[in-house]
Amino acid sequence: MPIRPLIGAAAACACALVLAAPASARIIEVGQAATQAAPTCPANPCLAISRTTGYQAKVVDSREVYVVPAPGRIVAWTIRLGSPTAKQIKFFESNFGEASAAITVLKRGERLFSRVVARSSVRPLGDYFGQTVQFPLARALHVRKGQMIALTVPTWAPALSTLTDDGSSWRASRALDKCDDTDLQTAQTAIGALTQYRCLYKARLTYTATLITKPEPNKKPAPKD
């Protein structure tokens, strides 16, 4: 066979393989941003999120960083923890109990209402202070495009940055007149729970979630007349 037709046949074959290949699932770290937020502890003050569910509403000028970009499954979540001193730990534990957190999936609605559609189990955090720790999920959380990944903290977690002036902000599941009441328990732990996220804070929460997107099948050819 002449060389040119052989090359042409090979190219055509390669093109056909590319067209026939199914779209692979992608691995996306929801919440990963260009700049990484750092928890404050052991600085003074040592800031912590306590007794609430919160989501990062905005990172600098983007409102999409913690929004699920495609349908799929959350298979793990990661939290960057500060390293509080023994004195700071004693203060928080005496007020809130042992440090713990979970990941939560929210379906947002109007007027800042959000409903819990999925959540992980609550994990103790005390053994991981000073680390960025990833927790794999025994059962993946099915998510849809547009849902929000939030952090639920029934006790406390040293996973909060200093106040920011770059536009970043997070929302908590607290009533507007209770934004300063960090002792009140507002953590959303029940599937189906619906509440308003009225309180806005200019800071960053230090968590992300690992998403494996749903692969898309090949498009079926249109039927011939």
pLDDT tens for residues 136-147?
A: 999 999 999 999
pLDDT tens for residues 91-110?
A: 999 999 999 999 999 999 99
Alpha-carbon gap, residue 78 to 57, rounded angstroms: 18
Residue 1 above 60 pLDDT? no
Mean pLDDT, the chain, integer: 91
Closest among 79, 51, 39, 46 to 152, alpha carbons compared: 51
- Cα–Cα distances in angstroms (integers) from residue 2 to residues 5, 8, 30, in the given order: 6, 10, 52
Domain residue extents for the chain: 24-213
Which helix (DSSP H) or strand (DSSP E) does residue 50 occupy? strand 49-58
Residue 8 above 70 pLDDT? no
When pLDDT is averaged across residues 150-163 and rounded to a whole number, the result is 97
* pLDDT band at 221; cut points 50, 70, 90: confident
Alpha-carbon gap, residue 39 to 84, rounded angstroms: 10
* pLDDT band at 23; cut points 50, 70, 90: low
pLDDT of residue 209: 98
Residue 55 above 80 pLDDT? yes
Residue 168 above 70 pLDDT? yes
DSSP summary character for residue 205: B
* pLDDT band at 215; cut points 50, 70, 90: confident
Q: Is 1 helix (H, G, I), strand (E, B) or coil?
A: coil
pLDDT tens for residues 188-208?
A: 999 999 999 999 999 999 999
When pLDDT is averaged across residues 148-169 and rounded to a whole number, the result is 96
pLDDT of residue 18: 40
Contact 173, 53 (CB under 8 A): yes
Q: Which residue has the tokens 């308003």?
A: 196
pLDDT of residue 225: 67
Predicted TM-score (pTM) of this structure: 0.86
DSSP 90-151: HHHHHHH-S-EEEEEEEEE-GGGEEEEEEE---EE-GGGTTSEEEEEEEEEEEE-TT-EEEE
Alpha-carbon gap, residue 142 to 73, rounded angstroms: 4
